[in-house]
């Protein structure tokens, strides 16, 4: 029987702030982990984490809502990360601070936060450290983990609380957390080398190679040329930030100086633009920290980033165009991660609020009186059944209240360290991978959306799925055996029943393969005209012609942007960062400017804009 999970209760154990699994004694588990055979142990552990066993997924399923739990590559990755981490945490030759530092995104930088993706499966059990429900005879593996953590953080109560808050898995508040017996089964199974993994989880059909295929992608870009969200916003005369009547953007000057410096004219960004392109520094954020990913409104006016400890923010860039006004208008947001803006420029969403996923009217940000958003404002509505790392799309209706869609899939978390350890995300999508589409209907005002139905579309071995703004195209990373095999695309056909049954929105979706692009990178972003893919890639030796070229980057790391053009079939590296500089989280605004962040290892952050897609479209117009 699964233990009843009620709440996390604070206790002080051995001078360390610690949390119990429940505020009252849980129901006794029936499983005696130590008495299980290897086959029984494997089934118990895998069911707990969400694998499909004997054709069914258990209702326990602690991990399957966000990760590819029916995929043996996932477990190998979690186990390897756990072993590496535990070897460091148990290394008596290192100080406690050195061992704790290892678990930061950027080792040595506490402000970078603890990184669950680096730590492995112990994140599913760390909340139990010091719990009175760990019984030594029944939970020896968990007890050893608990003892390691409580000893490591002895006298560091604040650090321990931060560690467990930032590594708590599952991350979503609506999800149950593992019980002591469930953790004991998982830890014991992994410690034994994961017996029966190959037998219980098959990998039939997993792709092994990649071949570029642009034909259908080109056809798609041509077919939506006049109906894409870029075309809709252009016809609606949406005013793009920092653009004049002739369409020239980011060229304003005050007192003879560029408001938005050309990166080539700066000391830090001389090399950023390649092949005649232009990178504009839209805003130097200095030491203002950004976390997780960032996104920009369709018109480019608002730039939003996540923030650890619900310290996200939205930057109103309009203030930069007033020579007599403030240099910036920064709006504090009580959220953690995953900002996104809807393509009609009327609403935005965030996750990690005290209400989970929330959508708000964009007018909340344009109101000059707004200094803080709690996501409890009347312009905001909770979005139920929303998972992390989403993209948003919108139906092209005849008014501003057209239905919205929130799309996601199994994902790998990306909040990179600013060091040589940063690398492209390991993808573990399996044969049961599905794109999940939450359908939200308007209540008649901007921001008043509510999820009415969730649909799933099978896209085997595809993960980190991002959607085009019209929901007509899905772009995903393709999971090979322990490695990414480029990007796979699906054309999504939407049919809506005009007279749906009660409780249904009437939407139905089917997906058909639409092409493949073979290049490295992380999550793919699709332009508003649905012609370009943009992504960032953490540099490796393979990105350099010689060892000498790679040498300056070997110890500092870097990330650059790659763009693919569906019409010409060209794949282009569009930036060249210096060692220790990371071009990350690229995305498009409606008119085709590519917005992205540059973070450097010295702590500086820049909001930047690249014209690569605009130049490519001008050189080879979409037919």
For the chain, what percent of residues have pLDDT higher than 90? Answer: 58
Structure tokens, 380: 């905001």
pLDDT for the residue 225: 97
Q: Compute CA 25 distance to the chain's CA centroid, rounded to the nearest angstrom.
A: 36
Assess whether pLDDT exceeds 90 at residue 621: yes
Higher per-residue pLDDT: 531 or 107:
531
pLDDT at 202: 78
pLDDT at 249: 97
pLDDT, tens digit, for every residue of 260-279?
A: 999 999 999 999 999 999 99
Three-state SS annotation for 26-38:
CCCCCCCHHHCCH
Q: What is the C-alpha to C-alpha distance for residues 389 and 405, in angstroms, rounded to an integer?
A: 13
User: pLDDT: is 56 or 40 the higher one?
Assistant: 40
pLDDT at 173: 55
Query: Residue 171: what pLDDT?
Result: 64
Of residues 316 and 163, more confidence is placed in: 316
Does residue 384 carry a pLDDT above 50? yes
State the pLDDT confidence band at 224, using cuts at 50, 70 and 90: very high
Query: What is the per-residue pLDDT for 132?
Result: 85
Per-residue pLDDT of 431-477, as tens digits, reads 889 999 999 998 888 878 999 999 999 999 999 999 999 999 999 99
Of 573 and 388, the one with more pLDDT: 573
Q: What per-residue confidence (pLDDT) applies to 455? A: 95
Percent composition of the chain: helix, strand, coil (DSSP 3-state, to 5): 25, 30, 50
- Read off the tokens for 67: 């990760």
Strands 372-373 and 329-333, bridge-based pairing: parallel
Q: What's the predicted TM-score (pTM) here? A: 0.80
Tens digit of each residue's pLDDT (9 = 90 or more) over 340-376: 999 999 999 999 999 999 999 999 999 999 999 999 9
Other Cβ atoms less than 10 A from the Cβ of 253: the count is: 10
Task: Read off the pLDDT band of 74 (50, 70, 90).
Answer: confident
Mean pLDDT of 32-57: 87
Answer yes or no: are the C-beta atoms of 590 and 581 closer than 8 Å.
no
Q: Which helix (H) or strand (E) holds 284?
A: strand 279-286
For the four alpha carbons of 102, 103, 105 and 108, in that order, the dihedral sign comes to negative
- Where residue 175 falls among pLDDT bands split at 50, 70, 90? low
Structure tokens at 247: 């369409």
- How far, in Å, CA of 491 to CA of 514, rounded? 6
Q: Tell me, what's the pLDDT at 2? A: 32
With a cut of 80, say whether residue 487 has pLDDT above it.
Answer: yes
The pLDDT score that the predictor gives to residue 14 is 34
pLDDT digits (tens, 9 = 90+) for 94-138: 998 989 888 887 777 787 778 777 788 888 888 888 888 888 989
Higher pLDDT, 227 or 129: 227
Per-residue pLDDT, 528: 98
> Are the C-beta atoms of 279 and 272 separated by less than 8 Å?
yes
Q: How confident is the model over 314-347, as pLDDT tens digits?
A: 999 999 998 876 677 999 999 988 999 999 999 9
| Domain parsing of the chain, residue ranges | 9-200, 215-619
Q: Round the average pLDDT of the chain to a whole number and report it.
A: 88
Distance, first Cα to last Cα, the chain: 62
- Mean pLDDT over 180-186 rounds to 90
| Position with higher pLDDT, 538 vs 61 | 538
Residue 32 tokens read as 């005696």
Residues 421 and 556: beta-carbon distance below 8 Å: no
pLDDT at residue 607 in the model: 96
Asked whether the predicted pLDDT for residue 153 surpasses 60, the reply is yes
**Topology of the domain comprising 215-619:** Methylamine Dehydrogenase; Chain H (2.130.10)
Q: What is the predicted pLDDT for the residue at 373?
A: 97
């Amino acid at each position: 029987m699964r233990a009843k999970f009620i709440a996390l209760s604070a206790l002080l154990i051995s001078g360390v702030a610690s949390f119990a699994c429940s505020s009252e004694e849980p129901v006794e588990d029936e499983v005696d982990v130590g008495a299980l055979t290897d086959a029984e142990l494997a089934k118990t552990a895998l069911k707990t984490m969400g694998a499909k066993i004997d054709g069914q997924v258990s209702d326990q399923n602690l991990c399957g809502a966000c990760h590819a739990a029916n995929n043996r590559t996932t477990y190998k990755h979690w186990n390897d990360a756990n072993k590496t981490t535990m070897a460091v945490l148990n290394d008596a030759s290192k100080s406690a601070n050195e061992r704790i530092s290892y678990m930061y995104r950027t080792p040595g930088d506490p402000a970078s936060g603890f990184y669950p993706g680096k730590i492995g499966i112990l994140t599913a059990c760390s909340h139990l450290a010091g719990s009175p429900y760990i019984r030594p005879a029944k939970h020896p593996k968990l007890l050893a983990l608990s003892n390691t953590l409580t000893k490591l953080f002895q006298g560091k109560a604040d650090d321990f609380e931060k560690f467990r808050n930032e590594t708590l898995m599952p991350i979503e508040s609506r999800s149950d957390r593992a019980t002591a017996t469930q953790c004991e089964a998982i830890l014991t199974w992994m410690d034994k080398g994961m017996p029966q993994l190959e037998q219980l989880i098959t990998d039939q059909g997993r792709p092994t190679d990649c071949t570029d295929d642009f034909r259908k992608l080109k056809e798609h870009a041509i077919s939506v040329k006049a109906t894409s969200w870029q075309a809709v916003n252009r016809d609606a005369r949406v005013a793009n930030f920092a653009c004049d009547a002739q369409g020239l953007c980011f060229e304003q000057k005050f007192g003879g100086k560029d408001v938005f410096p050309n990166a080539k004219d700066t000391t830090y960004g001389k090399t950023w633009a390649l092949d005649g392109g232009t990178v504009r520094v839209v805003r130097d954020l200095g030491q203002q920290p950004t976390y997780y990913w960032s996104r920009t409104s369709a018109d480019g006016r608002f730039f939003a980033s996540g923030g650890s400890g619900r310290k996200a923010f939205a930057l109103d860039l309009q203030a930069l165009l007033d020579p007599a006004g403030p240099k910036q208008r920064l709006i504090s947001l009580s959220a953690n991660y995953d900002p996104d803006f809807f393509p009609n420029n009327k609403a935005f969403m965030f996750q990690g609020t005290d209400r989970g996923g929330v959508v708000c009217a964009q007018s909340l940000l344009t109101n000059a009186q707004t200094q803080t958003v709690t996501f409890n404002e009347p312009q905001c509505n909770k979005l139920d059944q929303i998972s992390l790392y989403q993209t948003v799309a919108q139906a092209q209706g005849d008014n501003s209240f057209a239905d919205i869609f929130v799309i996601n899939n199994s994902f790998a978390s990306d909040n990179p360290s600013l060091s040589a350890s940063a690398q492209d995300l390991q993808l573990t999508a399996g044969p049961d991978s599905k794109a999940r589409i939450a359908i939200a209907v308007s209540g008649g005002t901007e921001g008043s959306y509510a999820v009415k139905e969730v649909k799933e579309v099978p896209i085997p071995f595809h993960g980190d799925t991002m959607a085009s703004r019209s929901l007509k195209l899905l772009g995903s990373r393709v999971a090979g055996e322990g490695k990414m095999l480029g990007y796979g695309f699906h054309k999504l056909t939407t049919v809506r029943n005009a007279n749906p049954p009660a409780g249904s929105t009437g939407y139905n979706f089917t997906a058909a393969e639409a092409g493949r692009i073979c290049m490295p990178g992380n999550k793919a972003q699709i332009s508003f005209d649905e012609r370009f893919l943009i992504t960032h890639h953490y540099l490796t030796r393979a990105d350099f012609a010689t060892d000498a070229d790679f040498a300056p980057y070997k110890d500092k790391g870097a990330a650059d942007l790659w763009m693919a053009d569906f019409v010409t079939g060209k794949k282009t590296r569009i930036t060249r960062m210096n060692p220790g500089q990371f071009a990350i989280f690229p995305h498009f605004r409606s008119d085709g400017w590519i917005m992205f962040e540059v973070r450097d290892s010295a702590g500086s952050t820049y909001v930047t804009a690249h014209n690569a897609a605009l130049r490519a479209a001008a050189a080879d117009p979409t037919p």
